[in-house]
């Protein structure tokens, strides 16, 4: 491709020629400062080769017809990240104490802590946003046929992620420990108990005993902030790896193009 | 690859031409090292995984001691109406560990079930047999009514409407001196036969008592 000639520039706008000593091989302190970021990245990359993995992950070929629906997965992941960050901050104030401390700590966060109501609101409403986004992402995958070979395993992982998200919603609902949280959890645990044979043991496991007891709240809290988030993060990582490895599917209305050599041969 | 079709491979490493084989050695040192390293890894992982698992599952098999709680004097309960009393089911967690129990004196005209003959007071839980919401006794209707999903029970606690799968659970009662005391909970089926306590939503009629086993440590009434 012929290169366009540079447009004529007024001399005032032209870059000045290098000063003596600037380009003679010796870098001045200003040059070193300019290059500091690059040399740090180079230092790490020389020892880890992470830039190759980064390029592999970020600069992928995507099919023609990729559209806004393909952003739902990333949106779900950012909803998860938002939940993780706000959850970590909320954990700095929360006390899983069933004899009044839990409710009081939530009241304190909501009413007294700077930006507390905002951060707690982010976490509370963000959980609903995450569930909605998970379902939209699942619907996109289903209606675009993106679960088919070779992406079946990613669908299975996605279903596990959906279930884990539901467990997060269920266990998180108890933590404010108000009337709604308490009774909703009683009902939810008993719904688990209606499963034949293993149901009674499952509800005993969730409560940590036969009755809603002293350790039920801390048990839910541990599941909510330690067990499930770790699983979620690991599975999201694997989910993403498979997306990068297998590539995204074309939308169902995209027509396969004839290879150009065949087209030329036909014409 | 060439040994693939050899029918009888010697068990001695020396016969298999493995370099450095000892006399009478049957397993290569490389194989032995691999096996013992893997076994050490499994033992190390199990030594923290199994206790953690038992720690998390332990409460399922823990038996809770039976306690008796005084709820009133013998004269404070009528025969045809319930008196709500508050008992502590789980000590140490404040209001969340308390529950309402409806108590009345046994009425020989209606409590004709043989299992009720040896008790003088009937104590019915406020925990709905559907999913565990709190029912309340509505005096005018002479019914227990659940606010969550519309379960309705009669004076004996038997379901007469809505989704509940069995009558309301009851508590053992006893009289010590002039005091009426409430003990452990038990479940009843539609004929008011007694079963060890079940969770709400679990029927005990017919095959239900086997599909929904009681806690391993729960004592039969």
pLDDT digits (tens, 9 = 90+) for A69-93: 999 999 999 999 999 999 999 999 9
Give the gap in angstroms from C-alpha B90 to the nearest C-alpha of chain A: 6
pLDDT of residue B63: 76
Residues B56 and B74 in one domain: no
| pTM of structure | 0.83
pLDDT digit string (tens) for A135-146? 999 999 999 999
Say if A211 is an interface residue toward chain B (CB within 8 Å): yes
**Cross-chain Cβ contact A99/B218 below 8 Å:** no
Using CB atoms, pick whichever of B60, B62, B131 lies closest to residue A187.
B131
Confidence of residue B91 (pLDDT cuts 50, 70, 90): confident
What's the rounded Cα separation, in Å, for the pair B55 and B50?
8
Using alpha carbons only, what angle is made at residue A156 by residues A240 and A233, rounded to the nearest 5 degrees?
40
What's the rounded Cα separation, in Å, for the pair B160 and B152?
6
Across chain B, mean pLDDT equals 88
Residues B17 and B112 in one domain: no
Confidence of residue B96 (pLDDT cuts 50, 70, 90): confident
Q: In chain A, where are the structural domains located?
A: 68-178+216-246
Residues B127 and B144 in one domain: yes
Phi, psi of A259 (to 5 degrees): -60, 145
DSSP B171: E
pLDDT of residue B218: 67
Q: What ipTM does the predicted assembly reach?
A: 0.82
Does residue B1 sit in helix, strand or coil? Answer: coil
Residues B73 and B47 in one domain: no
Is pLDDT at A125 greater than 80 in this prediction? yes
Domain count, chain B: 2
Say if B57 is an interface residue toward chain A (CB within 8 Å): yes
pLDDT of residue B23: 83
The size of the A-B interface in CB pairs under 8 A is 88
> Which of A185, A195, A213 would you mutate first to test chain B, the one with the most B CBs within 10 A?
A213
| Domain A68-178+216-246, CATH homologous superfamily name and number | Cytochrome Bc1 Complex; Chain C (1.20.810.10)
CATH assignment of the domain containing B166: 2.102.10.10
Q: Which residues on chain A are in Cβ contact (under 8 Å) with B199?
A: 189-190, 193, 200, 203
Residues B191 and B100 in one domain: yes
> Which of A187, A202, A228 would you mutate first to test chain B, the one with the most B CBs within 10 A?
A187
What's the rounded Cα separation, in Å, for the pair B27 and B11?
8
Is pLDDT at A47 greater than 90 in this prediction? yes
Is pLDDT at A240 greater than 90 in this prediction? yes
Residue B141 lies in a domain: yes
Does residue A124 sit in helix, strand or coil? Answer: helix
Using alpha carbons only, what angle is made at residue A83 by residues A77 and A86, rounded to the nearest 5 degrees?
140
With b for 16 or more beta-carbon neighbours within 10 A and e for fewer, the B188-217 pattern comes to bbeebebbbbbbbbbbbeeebbebbbbbee
Say if B59 is an interface residue toward chain A (CB within 8 Å): yes
Q: How is residue B145 written in tokens?
A: 């009514």
Residue B220 lies in a domain: no
Confidence of residue B1 (pLDDT cuts 50, 70, 90): very low
Closest C-alpha among A130, A141, A204 to residue A168: A130
Residues B183 and B76 in one domain: yes
**Region at B20 (left for phi over 0; alpha for psi -120 to 50; beta for the rest):** left
pLDDT of residue A3: 77
pLDDT of residue B89: 86
Residue B93 lies in a domain: yes
Residues B181 and B83 in one domain: yes
Range of the domain at B18: 7-60
What's the rounded Cα separation, in Å, for the pair A214 and B94?
9
Q: Which residues on chain B are in Cβ contact (under 8 Å) with A201?
A: 60
Using CB atoms, pick whichever of A190, A199, A208 lies closest to residue B132.
A190
Indicate the angle between helix axes A199-207 and A179-193, nearest 10 degrees. 150
């Amino acid at each position: 491709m012929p290169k366009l000639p540079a447009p004529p520039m007024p001399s005032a706008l032209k870059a000045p020629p290098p000063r003596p000593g600037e380009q003679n091989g010796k870098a001045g302190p200003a040059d070193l400062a300019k290059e500091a970021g690059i040399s740090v990245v180079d230092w790490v990359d020389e020892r880890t080769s992470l830039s190759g993995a980064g390029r592999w992950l970020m600069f992928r070929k995507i099919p023609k017809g990729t559209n806004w629906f393909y952003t739902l997965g990333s949106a779900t992941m950012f909803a998860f990240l938002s939940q993780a960050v706000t959850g970590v901050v909320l954990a700095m104030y929360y006390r899983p104490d069933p004899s009044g401390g839990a409710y009081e700590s939530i009241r304190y966060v909501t009413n007294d802590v700077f930006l507390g109501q905002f951060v707690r609101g982010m976490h509370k409403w963000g959980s609903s946003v995450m569930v909605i986004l998970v379902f939209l992402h699942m619907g996109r995958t289903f209606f675009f046929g993106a679960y088919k070979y070779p992406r079946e395993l990613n669908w299975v992982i996605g279903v596990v992620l959906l279930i884990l998200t539901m467990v997060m919603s269920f266990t998180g609902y108890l933590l404010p420990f108000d009337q709604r949280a308490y009774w909703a959890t009683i009902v939810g645990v008993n719904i688990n108990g209606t499963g034949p044979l293993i149901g009674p043991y499952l509800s005993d496991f969730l409560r940590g005993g036969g009755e809603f007891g002293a350790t039920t709240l801390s048990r839910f809290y541990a599941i909510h902030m330690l067990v499930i988030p770790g699983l979620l993060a690991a599975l999201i990582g694997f989910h993403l790896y498979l997306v990068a490895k297998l590539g995204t599917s074309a939308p169902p209305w995209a027509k396969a193009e004839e290879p150009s050599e065949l087209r030329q041969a036909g014409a | 690859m060439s040994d693939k079709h050899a029918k009888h491979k010697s068990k001695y490493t020396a016969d298999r031409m493995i370099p450095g084989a000892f006399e009478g050695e049957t397993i290569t040192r490389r194989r032995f090292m691999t096996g013992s390293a893997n076994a050490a890894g499994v033992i190390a992982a199990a030594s923290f995984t199994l206790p953690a698992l038992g720690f998390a599952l332990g409460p399922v098999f823990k038996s809770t001691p039976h306690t008796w709680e005084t709820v009133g004097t013998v004269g404070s309960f009528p025969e045809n109406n319930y008196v709500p009393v508050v008992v502590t089911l789980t000590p140490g967690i404040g209001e969340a560990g308390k529950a309402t129990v409806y108590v009345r004196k046994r009425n020989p005209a209606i409590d004709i079930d043989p299992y009720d003959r040896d008790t003088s007071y009937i104590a019915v839980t406020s925990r709905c047999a559907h999913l565990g919401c709190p029912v309340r006794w509505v005096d005018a209707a002479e019914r227990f009514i659940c606010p969550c999903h519309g379960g309705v029970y009669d004076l004996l606690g038997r379901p007469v409407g809505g989704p509940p799968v069995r009558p309301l659970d009851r508590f053992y009662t006893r009289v010590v001196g002039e005091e009426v005391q409430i003990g452990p909970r038990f479940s009843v089926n539609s004929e008011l036969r007694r079963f060890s306590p079940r969770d709400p939503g679990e029927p005990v009629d017919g095959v239900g008592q086997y599909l929904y086993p009681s806690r391993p440590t729960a004592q039969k009434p």
